[in-house]
């Protein structure tokens, strides 16, 4: 995260060489600085190229559909009709619900590592949580597909496929065929495969947990010891110390971790693409098939032969690009605004 002020105000090496050293080294220093600057400029180049290439490729779709691309619900390659509302809804719903489930778990595990566990236990548990972030997306997808989906499928069968529920199922089926749903039908599975929106949310929850957890742990450790001791001296219990002295102090940092996790969730691709069922209809059931922007790119870009289809898929990527830049920007803003001195 950025620091608002120069961390080393008394830096003894000014970028403009002082007169005394100018004779000796100004030329070689200048050359080195140029090389470093040129290599660093590749970062700028990558950003500009991304913007240009994504913009160029999505132009045909944006030209054809305009901003309605983002509000239309039909995504039909056969009729060359492309609207991204269903995928945008899928992306937002999966990410936000996963965030809501994962944040309390992440904060709790951070508290355990930083406040509860003895040192011999805290380090290994901290490692394990960080390894959770190192598991590749495809491996999460594989596990979800082979292990979690069958379990969810069995639950769906046992909860919803009995005689009195079958009536409900057929009623919901009629509603879905007309592209509608009711609140009741929203919780009825269209089929007992286990795959769909709910599984995608579960797997996303697990995937983004470590990002919030490790940031939260770091900021909780930075809470000054005096804060804790003062509360204990007043006779507070451990939970009272945590809830009134530690969490309020660390909230800005934790918020930064939450937004970081949101950014991850929005762009998470393969694990979601493997389990969400790839349906371009707007959400009809929590157990039903859906899609996210990233999953549509993964599933359709390779097959998209027609220019408009391909361009529409890239437009989703372009939107995702802007979304991630925006989330990043907000995260930096939040941290800069709320951070007390001394906590990054």
Partner 1 sequence: MTRADAAPGGNKVLLSPARRIKNLLMGGLILLATLLVVAPLILIFAYLLREGVGALNADFFTKTPAPEGETGGGLLNAITGSLTMLGMASVIGVVVGVAGGIFLAEYPRHPLMPTIRMLSDVLAGIPAIVMGLVAYGLIVLTFGFSGLAGALALGFLMIPIVVRTTEEVLKLVPHTVREAGMALGLPQWLVILKIVLPAAAGGIVTGVMLALARVAGEAAPLLFTAFGNPNVNLNPLEPMSALPLEIYRGATSAYDENQRMAKAGALLLISLIFVTSLLARRFSRR
In the region spanning residues 52 to 91, those forming contacts with partner 1, defined by CB under 8 A, are 53-54, 56-57
Query: Which of residues 89, 96, 135, 286 is near partner 1 by CB under 8 A?
Result: 135
- Judged by CB under 8 A, the chain residues 306 through 335 that form the site for partner 1 are 314, 317, 320-321, 324-325, 327-328, 332
Structural tokens at position 94? 């999966």
CA distance 252 to 235: 27
Number of residues that bind partner 1 (CB under 8 A): 102
Q: How far is the CB of 231 from partner 1 (least distance, A)?
A: 9
Residue 15 binds partner 1, judged by CB under 8 A: yes
Nearer Cβ to partner 1 (88/129): 129
Binding flag, residue 14, partner 1 (CB under 8 A): yes
Q: Angle, to 10 degrees, between the axis of helix 85-111 and the axis of helix 247-267?
A: 140
End-to-end CA distance of the chain: 7
Q: Quick one: 188 or 208, whose CB is closer to partner 1?
A: 208
CA-to-CA separations, 96 to 56, 63, 201, in angstroms, rounded? 30, 31, 9
Where in the chain does DSSP place strands (E)? 75-76, 81-82
By CB under 8 A, name the one of 67, 78, 147, 183 that touches partner 1. Answer: 147
Q: Token digits for 26?
A: 């100004």
Measured distance CA(86)–CA(90) in Å, rounded? 6
Restricted to residues 108-127, the positions that interact with partner 1 (CB under 8 A) are 108-109, 111-113, 116, 125, 127
Piece of the chain touching partner 1 by CB under 8 A; list 33-41, 66-74, 152-160, 164-172: 33-41
DSSP-derived secondary structure for 112-145? IIIIIS-HHHHHHHHHHHHHHHHS-HHHHHHHII
Q: Which is nearer to partner 1, 285 or 295 (CB)?
A: 295
**Beta bridge pairs of residue 277:** 290
Min separation Cβ 125 and partner 1, Å: 7
Helices (H) and strands (E) in the chain, counts: 14, 2
With a CB cutoff of 8 Å and minimum separation 6, the contacts of 149 are: 193, 194, 195, 199, 275
Measured between alpha carbons, how far is residue 288 from residues 55, 198, 297 in Å? Answer: 33, 8, 20
Contact with partner 1 (CB under 8 A): which of 244, 302, 333, 340? 302
154 binds partner 1 (CB under 8 A): no
Tell me whether residue 128 or residue 161 sits nearer to partner 1 (CB atom): 128
Q: Is 161 in the site for partner 1 (CB under 8 A)?
A: no
Residue closer to partner 1 (CB basis): 69 or 284: 69
Angle at 54 between CA 53 and CA 55, to 5 degrees: 90
User: Which residue stretch of 61-69, 102-110, 166-174, 281-289 sits at the interface with partner 1 (rule: CB under 8 A)?
Assistant: 102-110
Q: Residues 225 to 284: which contact partner 1 by CB under 8 A?
A: 225, 228-229, 232-233, 235-240, 242-243, 263, 266-270, 274
**Candidate list 166, 170, 174, 221; residue touching partner 1; CB under 8 A:** 221
Of residues 114 and 185, the one with the C-beta less far from partner 1: 114
Contact (Cβ atoms closer than 8 angstroms) between residue 318 and residue 59: no
One residue of 145, 168, 192, 247 binding partner 1 per CB under 8 A: 145
Residue 215 binding partner 1, by CB under 8 A: no
């Amino acid at each position: 995260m950025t620091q608002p002020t120069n961390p080393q105000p008394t830096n003894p090496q000014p970028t403009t060489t002082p007169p005394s050293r100018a004779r000796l080294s100004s030329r070689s220093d200048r050359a080195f600085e140029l090389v470093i600057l040129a290599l660093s400029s590749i970062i700028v180049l990558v950003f500009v190229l991304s913007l240009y290439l994504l913009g160029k490729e999505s132009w045909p779709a944006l030209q054809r559909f305009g901003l309605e691309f983002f509000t239309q619900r039909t995504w039909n390659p056969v009729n060359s009709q492309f609207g991204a509302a269903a995928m945008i809804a899928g992306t937002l719903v999966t990410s936000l619900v996963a965030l809501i489930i994962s944040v309390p778990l992440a904060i709790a595990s951070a508290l355990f590592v930083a406040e509860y566990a003895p040192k011999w236990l805290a380090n290994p548990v901290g490692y394990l949580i960080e390894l959770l972030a190192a598991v590749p997306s495809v491996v999460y997808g594989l596990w979800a597909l082979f292990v979690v989906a069958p379990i969810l499928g069995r639950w769906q069968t046992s909860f919803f496929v009995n005689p009195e529920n079958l009536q409900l199922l057929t009623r919901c089926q009629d509603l879905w065929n007309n592209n509608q749903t009711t609140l009741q039908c929203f919780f009825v599975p269209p089929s007992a495969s286990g795959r769909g929106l709910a599984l995608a949310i579960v797997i996303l929850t697990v995937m983004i947990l470590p990002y919030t957890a490790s940031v939260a742990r770091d900021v909780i450790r930075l809470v000054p010891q005096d804060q804790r001791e003062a509360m204990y001296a007043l006779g507070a219990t451990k939970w009272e110390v945590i809830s009134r002295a530690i969490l309020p102090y660390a909230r800005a940092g934790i918020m930064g971790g939450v937004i970081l996790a949101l950014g991850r969730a929005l762009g998470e691709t393969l694990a979601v693409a493997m389990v969400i069922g790839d349906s371009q209809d707007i959400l009809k059931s929590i157990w039903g098939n859906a899609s996210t922007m990233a999953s549509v790119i993964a599933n359709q870009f390779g097959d998209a032969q027609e220019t408009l289809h391909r361009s529409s898929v890239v437009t989703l990527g372009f939107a995702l690009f802007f979304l991630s830049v925006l989330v990043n920007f907000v995260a930096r803003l939040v941290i800069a605004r709320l951070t007390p001195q001394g906590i990054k």
